[in-house]
Amino acid sequence: MIKMEKRTPVLALFFAGIISIVLIVIFEKPAKPFAMWQGLLLFFLCYLPGMGIALLFDSYAKKAKEEYLKINFYEEKK
Amino acid sequence: MQLGHVAVALAVSSYAPEITGGRIDAFSAEAIAVSFVAHWLPNFDVIPIRLGWARDAFHCTWSHSFLFAVLVALILLPINAGWALLGFVSLIIHFLADMPSSVGLPLLMPWKRRFTLNLWADTGHSGWFAFRSTYEQAWTWLLEGGAFVFLFIRAYQVGVWPFV
């Protein structure tokens, strides 16, 4: 399980909603509207970058990056 | 980039007509096969590492350089010009997709300088730890998730599943 702050998944839902609405406004053609399930699928997919935006404000994610940057994973084992 | 490569390769295949001058259809089996194989080709450098024939540091070296992309395109050119064009673009897009990783890509090999956007820390070439630790970081979700959203919109524009 990925360690994160409790608010992060909730924030991700919020960002997913915003991204979905923006994309529908920009790309949906009046002659070819999204069906309900297609809209839900879009929302589900938008949850992924939404989680990314939420993780930008998450201290665990920042710490993880800092810790991994200290390690050279390509160093030969002796 | 890990899972995001799937979405990126499929998204490249959606532009096959534009890339190949109409030789290959968008999202056709041919487009998907060529863009997938070419897009994943640089990561096949993990195979000799896994087999013990190369060191870990071999990952993201020659196979992630412009020289490699040009060589692959030149090999494909006499076989099929469409494959060469689509393969070349798929390889370049693979490099772009890997650029945010801290490992950096030696794009101008044999000049060894590495180029990186440094948005996430690289945690190894393969294995469960590399996979899990990649997704502990923000930008992997943002960019790889964004690739899947982009693919969804492309599918809508082109009119393939789930928009048939």
- Print the domain residue range for A59: 7-26+34-65
Residue B164 lies inside a defined structural domain of this protein:
no
Answer for the pair B66, B89: CB distance below 8 angstroms, yes or no: no
Residue A45: is its pLDDT beyond 60?
yes
Token pair of B69, please? Answer: 């992309």
Q: What is the ipTM for the molecules in this complex?
A: 0.91
Answer for the pair A3, B136: CB distance below 8 angstroms, yes or no: yes
**Phi, psi angles (nearest 5°) of residue B104:** 75, 150
Distances (CA, A) of B30 to A46, A55, B13, B24, B35: 29, 38, 9, 7, 8
Residue A58 lies inside a defined structural domain of this protein:
yes
Dihedral angle, C-alpha B6, B4, B38, B92, nearest 10 °: 150
Residue A13 lies inside a defined structural domain of this protein:
yes
User: Per-residue pLDDT averaged across B52-65, rounded?
Assistant: 90
Residue A75 lies inside a defined structural domain of this protein:
no
Residue A78 lies inside a defined structural domain of this protein:
no
The predicted-structure confidence for B117-153, as pLDDT tens digits, reads as follows: 999 999 988 888 899 999 999 999 999 999 999 999 9
Q: Is B57 on the interface with A (CB under 8 A)?
A: yes
Show Cβ contacts of residue B102 under 8 Å, excluding neighbours closer than 6 positions: A68, A69, B116, B118, B120, B121, B122
Residue A77: is its pLDDT beyond 70?
no
Nearest residue in B to A60, CA atom: B136
- Print the domain residue range for B128: 4-158
Residue A49 lies inside a defined structural domain of this protein:
yes
Burial grade of B137 (CB within 10 A; 0-12, 13-18, 19 or more): buried
Q: How many domains, in total, are found in chain A?
A: 1
Output the pLDDT for position B83.
Answer: 96
3-state secondary structure of B105: strand
Residue A38 lies inside a defined structural domain of this protein:
yes
Answer for the pair B25, B74: CB distance below 8 angstroms, yes or no: no
Distances (CA, A) of A40 to A12, A27, A47, B113: 15, 16, 11, 44
Half-sphere exposure of B8 (CA within 13 A, CB side): 23
Residue A2 lies inside a defined structural domain of this protein:
no
Within 8 A of A52 by CB-CB distance, chain B residues are 138-143, 145-146
Q: How many domains, in total, are found in chain B?
A: 1
Residue B163 lies inside a defined structural domain of this protein:
no
Residue B126 lies inside a defined structural domain of this protein:
yes
The predicted-structure confidence for B99-126, as pLDDT tens digits, reads as follows: 999 999 999 999 989 999 999 999 988 8
Q: Which of residues 49-78 of A touch B (CB under 8 A)?
A: 49-53, 55-56, 58, 60-62, 64-66, 68-69, 71, 73-76
pTM listed for this prediction: 0.92
